[in-house]
Structure 1
Amino acid sequence: MTKDDQIPFEAALVARTGPVEALLRRLLDDRPLSGEIARPQRLMEAMRHGVLNGGKRLRPFLVMESAALFSADGEAA
């Protein structure tokens, strides 16, 4: 790997944040998923508050990058 091939950490973290945010927003939507009866509004608001308020993107980034190290699909990780 040459220096030109290396992506700075911050740029890689920002690049992974978008897909993670989109997935979390889709999973924490008010509409029930297949097999669910209902999603209580107050519970969903609390879950979104805890998950979507930033500062919690390092773990998903590390999982996705670890998957990429082993040629696994980082998006599926």
Structure 2
Amino acid sequence: MLKDDQVAFESALFTRAAAVEVLLRQVFDAPLLSGEIARPERLMAAMRHGVLNGGKRLRPFLVMESAALFSAND
């Protein structure tokens, strides 16, 4: 039983991490918003590096799973 729980946890973590990754890439690749003057490339590169590098998907997973416990929308 413990092995099944571990597999289920790893699968859920991978699925949520992939969804967060897709959403973050969409945000960074989005065109300028109305009223936005510019997005300095150096700043965007630093933000991408800080956000998109691996190892940063546990917190979003915990938030999404906690929200699911209370039937919150994704």
TM-score, normalized by length of structure 1?
0.78
> Relative CO higher for 1 or 2, CA cutoff 8 Å, sep ≥ 6?
2
Which structure has the highest helix share of the two?
2
Contact 1:32–1:38 (CA under 8 A) maintained in structure 2: yes
Match of 2:47 in 1: 47
Task: Check if 1:37 corresponds to 2:44.
Answer: no
Aligned residues: 69
Query: Within 5 Å, which residues of 2 pair with 1:8-19?
Result: 8-19=8-19
**In angstroms, what is the RMSD of aligned CA positions?**
1.7
> CA–CA distance in 2 between the matches of 1:34 and 1:68?
33
- Identity of paired residues, percent? 71
Structure 1 runs not aligned, ≥5 long? 1-5
Q: Secondary structure at the match of 2:46?
A: helix
Q: Which moved more, 1:44-53 or 1:25-34?
A: 25-34
Match of 1:23 in 2: 23
> CA–CA distance in 1 between the matches of 2:18 and 2:34?
24
Structure 2 runs not aligned, ≥5 long? none
